[in-house]
Amino acid sequence: MPGDSVNINNKATAANTYDAIVIGSGISGGWAAKEFCDHGLKTLVLERGRNVVHLKDYPTATMNPWDFPHREQLPLSVTEKNPIVNRCYAFNETSQHFFVKDDEHPYIQEKPYDWIRGYQVGGKSLLWARQTQRWSKYDFEGPGRDGYAVEWPLSYDELAPWYSHVEHFAGISGNFDGLDTLPDGDFLPAWEMNCVETDISAKINAHYKDRHVVQGRCAHLTKPREIHIQQGRNPCQARSECERGCPFGGYFSSNSTTLPWAAKTGNLSIRPDSVVHSVIYDENKKKATGVRVIDAHTKEETLYYAKVIFVNAACLNSNLILLNSVSARFPNGLGNDCGLLGKYVCFHNYRGTVNASYEGPMDKYYYGRRPTQPMMPNFRNVHKQEMDFLRGYMVFFGAGRGTGNFTGNGEELGAAFKENLTEAGPWYVSSQMQGETIPKESNHVRLSKDKKDAWGIPELVVSVDYDENDVKSMKDYMQQTSEMLEMGGCKNIQQRDTHQSPGLDIHEMGGCRMGKDPKTSLLNKFNQFHLCRNVFVTDGAAMVSTSTQNPSLTFMAFTARAVDHAVSELKKGNL
């Protein structure tokens, strides 16, 4: 297919022309659609998967465990056929319809990589874990100070108002903790720690001056504001069945929040089953004019046109589309004169876990299925380089009680077994790391030269792996967390390296990074291509580094900020 467009001024072209095109309908794509529509722009959202409408298309949301043929578990025939997606914690009989199956959309693993995807309107916003922390100034300053990536082209202070903007609309619960390593935001009331978590946190906070356990912040409505009532959303019911789709709108998703809001303006068009082949670049106009789309079922090609294009297909798919957007001007991918498109992919290191027991109060319990847990922001290499590894990690931990106190000696059978099931077991504590990985040129994705998918698009080759820095960081997490849990009163502490492949964190970032210099980056401080000014990338592909915090809230803030800039530039006639 030719890379350059041929514009024919006819009725078909006019019917397929919009003010803005957004590729992808997930967390960042939904935000782009909402912001464009609020500004009055006719906006087309292209989604490669099927349509999913809030409430209507959540078939398992209110089903009981006994309503499922396999009691929410997957049969062996499914797990054996899907070894990659089966490793995701949320993939089960209740949610499998929202996940991409292994054989449906193949990719090439040059190194082991678990690529978890959700192809439908709403994307992975129906499946995410909903943990939402702001990045701190230290996260934006880190690469420039430590020299492990290019310098971020903007500061925390520049993004802070946009964090507030998206937090207020999405609904983020959390405490005001007053930490410069984890900035406060526009919060709804926080969820509570249980009694054991409160005890352990108090002991750790009292002992360490530079470490602070706080309650997790998450995109769940605890006490809805008027803006959330206008969205038709209700408080989170703490059912812990979020991956089914929430009929209450209790957590933030594109389906329950941004897309319906955009639709109410009358400016939104959504086209599901639209596999984006490439962005069309016009040699004469020296800008992108539209998007080439392949129908998911008929394989028919259609061109759509717009003044501005946002690429929000999720990190690796955004890289794939941009690499496939070739033209005489950009033979190696859109805006890719520097040759770095697809490179410096990074992720979060989840390999380390620490578990323990706790001799807690046997006369106390908790209720509900809280959607978050206590966490500790990074305390390594925050202000200066002080360890033998770069950057650091966030620590998550939680305490709970199982069912019964089974010895495993076979004595609990029949009535004794049933009786034991009615009793709460001993307290346990579990912890995991979320470590920052260092962007490396060798960690990359590229297009296959000989394999194409069912839509005639090259398959993606993924070559991403851990390094020595990740192992050192993990070992430090294990040692420090073990010491902290022991200080907190825990017993029987056990460390574990899961050895899981990259990708299972589902926090892939980079490949089309922001920066100040077109020689070392693809995008400017507004997520706008240096060399193709009317194309923006605001999902994980745009990230320079990963921080130790969860990334989705930052994607949202970047997206809203970029749309504001794009609209301003459109009004000035610069796009």
CA 112-115-121 angle, 5° bins? 175
pLDDT along the chain (575 residues), means of 10: 48 90 98 98 98 98 97 96 97 98 97 98 98 98 95 98 98 98 98 97 96 98 98 97 98 98 98 98 97 98 98 98 98 98 98 96 90 98 96 97 71 76 90 98 98 98 98 98 97 98 98 98 98 98 98 98 98 96
pLDDT of the residue at 2: 41
C-alpha–C-alpha distance, residues 343 and 365, integer Å: 49
Report pLDDT for 369: 87
Cα 313-318-319 angle, rounded to 5 deg: 165
Between the alpha carbon of residue 135 and those of residues 52, 393, 530, the distances in Å are 31, 13, 25
Which of 430, 411, 427 has its CA nearest to residue 419? 411
Distance of alpha carbon 370 from alpha carbon 342, whole angstroms: 38
pLDDT value at residue 412: 67
CA angle 135-351-82, nearest 5°?
Answer: 105
Which has the closest alpha carbon to 535: 212, 353, 298, 276?
A: 276
Q: Is the entire prediction scored with pTM above 0.85? A: yes
Distance CA 401, CA 427 (A): 5
Q: What is the pLDDT of residue 6?
A: 46
What CATH class has 11-54+69-108+117-571?
alpha beta
Q: What is the pLDDT of residues 359-387, one digit of tens each?
A: 989 999 988 889 999 999 999 999 999 99
SS (H, E, C) 424-453: EEEEEEEEEEEEECCCCCCCEEEEEEEEEC
**How far is C-alpha 409 from the chain's CA centre?**
43
pLDDT at 416: 78
Strand partners, 511: 343
Could you tell me which of 191, 208, 120 has the C-alpha nearest to residue 484?
Answer: 208
Residue 10 pLDDT: 61
Structure tokens belonging to residue 235: 């408080």
Domain ranges for the chain: 11-54+69-108+117-571
